[in-house]
Amino acid sequence: MFSERKVLLVVNPISGDKDKEEILLKVAAKAEEDDYVLSIFSTTGVNDLGEIRNLVKNLCPDRILVAGGDGTISMAAEAVTGTDIVFGIIPAGSANGLSADFGLSSDLDEAIEVAFGDQSIHVDAVRINDEISLHLSDIGLNALLVKNYENGDIRGKLGYALEMFKTLNEHENFRVRITTESATLETEALVVIIANAKKYGTGISINPFGDMSDGLFEIVIAKRIDFIETAKFLTGNASFDHDVMEVLSVENAKIECLDREVYFQVDGEYKGEVRELNASILKGFVRIAVP
């Protein structure tokens, strides 16, 4: 008996500055061309994770496409935990770091072709307290930037650039203790990044040693602003000054902020201020369509 193929498109209508109507029309055309029955869910910010889980359970889609930023992608990936549903990314956020890591094109037609394509890989995720991170999460400077950006009026990379000046003036370093399976490190920090991936949405490789399928994540500690050492690190130079930058490759970590609560963000979504984070790797968490 013929069994119809199904695809679920999850759209964040307020992410980034791309025209979502164009995305909907082109995905619908591609779904029809490839003989998929298309269902669409638009996020509202209210119980989106639960709603997507219910749709996955009731529709049993063969493929899920996400048009949104990294936070929407991570949420939808969490909704398909324990399945082997192919996950397609259509970059439509303000900062599309995951798409940069996977080499996805910013061209909409090319991104849709990949999202419906046959090539896919399993990638890890990181559980941080009660949150799931596919990409890059952090405490400190960048999390404050995300907070300021969310409160700003301008979207896209221009919005991030404008908020950076304000953020640099507001931010203060903090003391942190990081405990892993093999070591304990206590230091002053500008930012502590829990990095499953390599690149921020700007294309900057903040974790040049990262591999999203290696069963590890990196903790990247920037202890102060030093443009020369940071430039060496970002270009993958392993001889950077460890008094400025430190990298730990781990499966588990406990991060304690010793002097105060610190700003925290997960995959581009501001989560508030925290004193302690517990992070652990989730191997082969989701299957993602890639070029």
Whose tokens are 């119809």? That residue is: 4
> Is 52 in contact with 37 (CB distance < 8 Å)?
no
Q: In whole angstroms, what is the distance from residue 174 CA to residue 63 CA?
A: 43
Q: In whole angstroms, what is the distance from residue 204 CA to residue 192 CA?
A: 16
Domains of the chain (ranges plus CATH)? 5-118 (3.40.50.10330), 131-281 (2.60.200.40)
Per-residue pLDDT of the chain (291 residues; tens, 9 = 90+): 456 899 999 998 877 556 688 999 999 999 999 999 999 999 998 999 999 999 999 999 999 999 887 788 888 888 888 788 999 998 776 556 677 777 777 788 999 999 999 999 999 999 999 999 988 899 988 888 778 766 665 555 555 556 666 676 677 889 999 999 888 999 999 889 999 988 766 566 778 778 899 999 999 998 876 554 454 444 444 455 667 788 899 999 999 999 999 999 998 888 999 999 999 999 999 999 998
Dihedral in degrees, nearest 10, Cα atoms 107, 113, 118, 122: 40
pTM to 2 decimal places: 0.81
By C-alpha distance, which of 68, 64, 70, 71 is closest to 17?
Answer: 68
